[in-house]
Amino acid sequence: MPNAPLAPAPLRGPLAEPWSPGKLLRLLGMFGPAAILASVSIGAGETIVVVRTGAWMGYGLLWLILLAALTKGVCVTYFLGRYTAISGEAPGQRLVKLPGPRGWLLFLLIALELGAAGPLWGALARPSGELMSYLLLGGGDHGYTNRLIATAFIAFALLLSLPTSYRSLEKQQVIICGILVAGTCIGTLLVRPDWFAAWQGLFSIGHIPSVPATAPPLFRDSVWPLIAVTMGYVGGSVMTYLVYPDFIALHGWGMTGHPQREELLQRAAAGMPADYLPTDPEQVQEIRRASGPIRWDVAFGAIVLLVVSAAFMIAGAAVLYPKQQAGEDIAKFDGWGLLTDQAEIWNAIHPSLVWVYYLCVVAALWGTLQSYPDVYARGVTEYFRAIWPQRQWNQRNIQLVICAYVFAAACAVIWSSMDFDAMTQTVNFLATSLGVCIAMFAGLYLNFQLPPAYRTRWWMLLCGVASAVILTGVSSIACWGLWQTLTK
């Protein structure tokens, strides 16, 4: 029977074991794909954007971290990853069939991500150049030297990303996540924050504190751009979510590990998941159970994102915010010298720990820049294969082209007069707000492409819809904030 449903993929690893304390530890060991997502977003947002929000606004906007972790770290990641684990099919193969010109949505998502690549890398590299210039040359304004160091930093990261395999990249990011969680938590405990205020700020969702006079004029005029940028940068850019299903397939989770995967993909391309997924209740439950690693992985990734992001903002609120309120160094904690100025957090604990901070920041930024080329190449390759399946696409060749493009775009931004806020708001609107918002709607659409028995529970669907609404609002604010910045 050529049209008979496929049997469920066999359970693997800890999922096939009876419950025991050892099984729990082995389930923790499955954390991997979401580590890359967490590491990428931590380097891009927490080390630069989140700390300054704490420095300017204290504990009052901690709820943005929680909201971003739930909407992006959980819902967007889960809906996209779960579709692939249940159906065995990559999201791009289904989204390419949307009504309209073939692959229009995939082209849009690629354009949003790569359009933001120049400002994204520039906003990471320029502060990194300032930091390394400070370490190597001492204080002072070194002008073009800082830009040269930033350019070299990008070139070095891009070159070293080329021979990196996914397995080594995943192991590297898990280690970096562990270092960041341990380092930031210890540092936060040592600065002795106001835990009651932090707890209150974390759950005061929707509360917007008054902007202090020490904040930059852009945010004194309106706090909304700050809210959009802070929430947007927590969780990373759209392509990191779009390649998560590809990482799942590399692990063979769910139906992606089916022994008849080639037949599965052929039947998926010719029809719908309902054409090959079984309807027997026991087999349905077995397939849902086989997708269990997604829940563990997404949960651990979201926890890392929440803990590290909150720790960075709490540290900024505990050490830097009082200085701002007292009128000390009010020109600091903004622009290109932000990473260098943040050393005051660790200096407040003990001067010898400043070097620990420098090493942690460089590790976080390096993890981000090392991950992005692979993320870009995987996303573009998968979507090009979906749009033009008759052609052969080599991921390594695509990565070479993307690395050349990223280097050129980042250099153009670094050596331009574009300021830090314009860079971060451009990235925020294109890739971390609008792009992620579209990805959330795509995840909801994919959920309804599954047979009813395989769709998410009703409460998870409500969470996904709520996330889509919230991300739509944030994207609208990000668009307005960018317009205000570019036209001022």
For residue range 237-264, list pLDDT tens digits in order. 899 899 999 988 888 889 998 999 999 9
| pLDDT at 31 (0 to 100) | 66
Backbone angles phi, psi at 465, to 5 degrees: -65, -45
Cβ-contact 307, 42 below 8 angstroms: no
Tokens 């010719």 label which residue?
Answer: 270
- Whether residue 137 has pLDDT greater than 80: no
**Tokens describing residue 209:** 């504190």
| pLDDT at 375 (0 to 100) | 87
Q: What is the mean pLDDT of the chain?
A: 84
Nearest to 228 by CA among 487, 488, 483: 483
Nearest to 297 by CA among 77, 461, 70: 77
Cβ-contact 329, 11 below 8 angstroms: no
Helices (H) and strands (E) in the chain, counts: 26, 0
Fold of the 30-487 domain: Amino acid/polyamine transporter I (1.20.1740)
**In the predicted model, what is the mean pLDDT of residues 138-149?**
70
**Tokens describing residue 181:** 């969680």
Express each pLDDT in 293-334 by its tens digit. 898 889 888 988 898 889 888 988 888 788 777 766 544 555
Tokens 């932000």 label which residue?
Answer: 338
First to last CA, the chain: 67
Nearest to 136 by CA among 127, 149, 126: 149
Express each pLDDT in 373-428 by its tens digit. 888 999 999 999 999 999 999 999 999 999 999 999 999 998 988 888 888 899 99
| Rg of the chain taking only CA atoms, in angstroms | 22
Question: pLDDT: is 19 or 475 the higher one?
Answer: 475
Report the sign of the C-alpha dihedral through residues 343, 347, 348, 350, in that order. positive
**In the predicted model, what is the mean pLDDT of residues 459-486?**
94
Percent of the chain at pLDDT exceeding 70: 82
**In the predicted model, what is the mean pLDDT of residues 170-183?**
72
**In the predicted model, what is the mean pLDDT of residues 103-110?**
96
**In the predicted model, what is the mean pLDDT of residues 435-455?**
97
Please tell me what DSSP assigns to residue 316: I
Report the sign of the C-alpha dihedral through residues 472, 476, 477, 478, in that order. positive
Nearest to 368 by CA among 73, 124, 72: 124
**In the predicted model, what is the mean pLDDT of residues 159-188?**
74
| pLDDT at 385 (0 to 100) | 94
In the three-class reduction of DSSP (H, G, I as helix; E, B as strand; rest coil), residue 1 is classed as coil
Dump strand ranges (E) for 83-195. none
Nearest to 229 by CA among 425, 455, 473, 436: 425
